[in-house]
Amino acid sequence: MKNRKIHIILIILGFALWGAPTCNDPDPWENARVQANGEIISDELLVSKAREEIIESIEKEFEATYLDKENLRAFEERSKEKLLDFTDYLTVYSTKKYDESFKNQARRMLLDTYVDKGSSRTNLLSSPNKNNHTLDEFLEEVNNMNYDFIKLNPDNISISDSLKLSENGNYTGEISFSGEILGISDLDTLIIRSGVNKIELIVQRSFKSFGNDSLKVWSVQFGDIQ
């Protein structure tokens, strides 16, 4: 729990840095680079060398056109981390006291969790007898809720269907979890919804930008949440 709280703080700090600089302030992202171990460096030669090493490492890891069992298990573990990231972004997005720039960045991160932002659906706020929300509908309902913030508490996270190669060249599987969505305010904490959910997993290759370079890398994202 302590690590997740630290993670939320880091997200918020990241949002603060993400904000556009004023005319008098230097751009906090200009020339910003980090080494693979997370250490910040500023010297141009070191920056260039570290950047090349990171890209070379990524190329070696992701240049394959198929994934072996070890890679697939790693992506399954990454999907569990991605679910926890999702819960953190949702908390930031739903927190009424946060600045709109924080919430908008959290919204973008939530949407980036999904392969298809336009057609993916979720029943996190739906009863079993109701139609699932689109992502936009889900986020709009979250934003309109009369709570200080909402929190998704996933438990018993497991891979219910291992990643397998599909006909289109992607890998698909499923992650399941039980848990509650809580509406939290100064006066009370209410259970909005509880139950078991399953998330479609899709691992596919797509182009990612690394500075001026672009690499086609494997990544795991969500499909529908049932």
pLDDT at 27: 44
pLDDT at 20: 42
pLDDT at 216: 78
What does the pLDDT look like over 97-118, one tens digit per residue? 999 998 999 999 999 899 887 6
pLDDT at 151: 93
pLDDT at 19: 46
pLDDT at 162: 96
pLDDT at 24: 46
pLDDT at 48: 61
pLDDT at 160: 96
Give the helix ranges, DSSP H, for the chain. 2-18, 44-62, 69-94, 100-112, 135-144
pLDDT at 11: 56
pLDDT at 96: 93
- Whether 94 and 107 have beta carbons less than 8 Å apart is answered as no
Separation of alpha carbons 204 and 202, rounded Å: 6
Give all domains of the chain, ordered by start, each with its CATH number: 2-15+69-225 (3.10.450)
Separation of alpha carbons 70 and 38, rounded Å: 25
pLDDT (tens, 9 = 90+) of the chain, 226 residues, equals 545 554 554 555 455 444 444 444 444 434 444 454 445 444 555 556 666 666 555 555 555 677 889 989 999 999 999 999 999 999 999 999 999 998 999 999 999 899 887 678 888 886 554 557 888 888 999 999 999 999 999 999 999 999 999 988 899 999 999 989 999 998 899 999 888 999 999 999 877 776 677 777 888 999 988 8
Percent of the chain at pLDDT > 90 equals 40
- Whether 222 and 201 have beta carbons less than 8 Å apart is answered as yes
| Burial (0-12, 13-18, 19+ Cβ within 10 Å), 220 | buried
